[in-house]
Amino acid sequence: MYQQPIFEGRTIMTPGPVEAHPAVLRQMVQPILGQFDPEFLKIMNEVKEMIKVPFGTKNKQAFAIDGTSRSGLEAALLALIEPGDKVLIPAYGRFAYLLGEICQRAQAEIVWLEKDWESPFEQSVVIEAIKEHQPKIVAMVHGETANAQMQPLDQIGAFCRENDVFFVVDMVATYGGIELKVDDWKVDIAIAGTQKCVSVPSGMSLITYNDRVEKYIQPRYQKELGLGSDEQSERYVRSNYLDLTQLQRYWGPERINHHTEATSMVYALHEGLRLLLLEGMENVYARHTKNDRILTESLEKMGLEIFGARETKMGTVIPVRIPEGIDGEEVRALLLDQFKIEIASSFGSLKGKIWRVGNMGYSSRQTNVLHFLSAFETVLKKVGYEFDYGVGSTYALEEYLK
């Protein structure tokens, strides 16, 4: 007989998923409403408006897609790419290669611009590559969780707009934790997720795109078979489930049936966004900035080195070099087994070289910072790392008491 699984609570200090806000989880047990129930449509409309605020946009099109953040990335790229289209992908971390994977499967011609993972690109380097290769699309990651680096976007976006290049940006790791300016940065499509700074379980992607994109994808729309044959296109998007032209009509006033909505996730997303706006976005960003600073400085007091360029480190992840002679996985295992705290390792060239400590959403709070630092010091002492024991947690507490 299968047993009902019951888990002890964790302090999740990874770059995602993070701890869901308790109020969000409570909303998920609300009664199920039909997807065209007037009360549910009201919730959907409010979600559309709230999504725009952390993106920093006034775009008409902003909605959620049922599926993890990857679903939004794929929907965005499939909407724009037709076989043979050229896409420039500047890669300074692991998740740019995911964008390339999606573009490759969409039969795009990919131009890679690659560098080490210590820092993002100088914007001028990307602009020169655009001039050289003349792509239809530039697809970039704003905040790379693999190395905690953040790419400046304003000049790239402006150049793309001036030269009729679509600018698609993955903002999954920064949405809701770092101020975004989709409109000011001339981003055509921006994508985020629920499982990081929105403090909602994984399962939905957030997307916004401007009139320029909407005008381009409109001729690719065709009504789903069985719903009518009045609108067909030879250039239709090569996915049914992730077709933005259909999804926008499902979330829009047309309410053309597309799929059965993940009702409880929409409740959760509504609450997660509502709580962000209730706290006030300036306060949300200030909280993340403060906790990032205290965590980073406390770790340095312990003699640990922060990986990568400091001036472009994003405030939602702290990348910590694993000291020589220390088994990084043993440390992670002790934190989880003895303290129920989870931190992350990394990918690719950084696998086994850094720990990644998340500072996102509901997990970005004083109690978590102090709990993590105290436990981390204890574990590091246990595995033989030599440092002034207690210096990190003491420093953090003093900073919070100021």
Closest CA to 361 of 9, 18, 27: 18
H or E segment and range at residue 377: helix 366-382
The answer to the question of whether 238 is labelled as a binding residue is: no
Separation CA 281–CA 271 (nearest Å): 15
Separation CA 245–CA 61 (nearest Å): 11
Q: Which residues of 351-363 are buried (b: 16+ CB within 10 A; e: fewer)?
A: eeebbbbbbbbbb
Inter-residue contact 100 to 89 (CB < 8 Å): yes
How is residue 205 written in tokens? 């992607």
**β-bridge partners, 192:** 206
For the beta carbon of residue 89, count every other beta carbon within 10 angstroms.
Answer: 25
Residue position matching structure tokens 């008491």? 401
CA within 13 Å, CB half, 33: 16
Separation CA 47–CA 40 (nearest Å): 11
Could you list the residues known to form a binding site, using ranges. 356
Could you list the residues known to form a binding site for substrate, using ranges. 356
